[in-house]
Amino acid sequence: MPDWHEAPPMSLLMGVLEDKARARLFYRYLSTVYDEVNRFIWTEEMRREALGLLSIDRDDRVLDVGCGTGFGTEGLLEHADTVHGLDQSTGQMERAWEKFGKHGRVRFYRGDAERLPFRDDTFDVVWSSGSIEYWPNPVDGLAELRRVAKPGGQVLVVGPNYPSRRVFQRLADAIMLFYNEEEADRMFREAGFEAFRHLTHGPAHSPNIAITTVADVPEE
């Protein structure tokens, strides 16, 4: 397995799945098996660790950006009464509808992470797991998460940690965005965040495969 811990700075090349049309096509087919595949990479234990970085009240307004089939959403519902879920893939959202229904505790929206259809200062918590790696302009996307979060709120993003071995770096660069803590620092600062921290974690077979960043939204 690749060593994900001591990752060098990420390449600036755009991976094939950072093109939104290609990503939508990819997820149209992946949605049928996504939950079965995803549980080997993004596990329930990892989700619990990420949720443990947040402070969520039952009545908080919570947004899940790139909600997909609802794996992250499911965890958020353990802490909040209602979750707003947004995704650009109708295939992924159809699977989420099967789990939660269209008009239950999850309110669904089809949209783009880099152009969120919400007003400024709307949500207490903004969560995004397994989505940033497909954004062509991740700093713009992070700035959007900050925009729709309330001052004093929290933003959490889970993305793929950049591998240290050159052969895996080349593969990563060709597919989508991978990044390390140094690159995460740069992106979050450029998006307007001042206080944030990182956690690298993963399943037993690759314990540093993911990087989770939780950021405090500056008070105005």
pLDDT of residue 89: 85
Q: Domain 16-113+126-216 is of which CATH architecture? A: 3-Layer(aba) Sandwich (3.40)
CB 211 within 8 A of CB 163: no
Question: What is the model's pLDDT at position 220?
Answer: 72
Name the more confident of 178 and 107: 107
Among 8, 6, 10, 2, smallest CA distance to 173 is for: 10
In whole angstroms, give the CA distance from residue 113 to residue 142. 8
Between residues 137 and 33, the one the model is more confident about = 137
What confidence category does residue 50 fall into, taking pLDDT thresholds of 50, 70 and 90? very high
Q: What angle do CA 169, 159, 167 make, to 5 degrees?
A: 10
Band (pLDDT 50/70/90 cuts) for residue 8 is very low
DSSP 77: T
What residues pair up with 18 in beta bridges, in sequence order? none
Judged by average pLDDT, the poorest of 31-35, 83-87, 142-146, 179-183 is 31-35
- Per-residue pLDDT, averaged over 122-151, amounts to 96
Over residues 84-98, the mean pLDDT reads 91
Q: How confident is the model at residue 25 (pLDDT cuts 50, 70, 90)?
A: low
Per the prediction, the chain carries an average pLDDT of 84
Please say whether the beta carbons of 89 and 109 come within 8 A.
no
**Which candidate, 98, 89, 91, 93, places its Cα nearest to that of 108?**
93
Residue 11 pLDDT class (50, 70, 90 cuts): very low
130: left (phi over 0), alpha (psi -120 to 50) or beta: left
Q: Can you give the pLDDT at residue 13?
A: 38
Which has the closest alpha carbon to 201: 15, 44, 24? 44
* CA–CA dist 220, 208 (Å, integer): 35
Mean pLDDT of 127-138: 92
Distant-in-sequence, close-in-space partners of 98: CB < 8 Å, separation ≥ 6: none
Q: Which tokens sit at 115? A: 């152009």
Inter-residue contact 43 to 25 (CB < 8 Å): no
pLDDT of residue 17 exceeding 60 = no
Q: What is the pLDDT of residue 43?
A: 93
pLDDT at res. 20: 55
Please list, residue by residue across 58-95, b when 16 or more beta carbons sit within 10 angstroms of its beta carbon and e when fewer do. Answer: eebbbbbbbbbbbbbbbbbbebbeebbbbbbbebbbeb
Judged against a pLDDT cut of 90, whether residue 26 lies above it is answered with no
Which residue from 220, 66, 50 is spatially nearest to 138, judged by alpha carbons? 66
pLDDT > 90: percent of the chain: 61
Cβ atoms within 10 Å of 104's Cβ, excluding its own: 12
d(CA 128, CA 87): 10
Asked whether the predicted pLDDT for residue 3 surpasses 50, the reply is: no
Q: Identify the pLDDT of residue 185.
A: 97
pLDDT tops 90 at residue 19: no
Q: Which residue has the tokens 């950072």?
A: 18
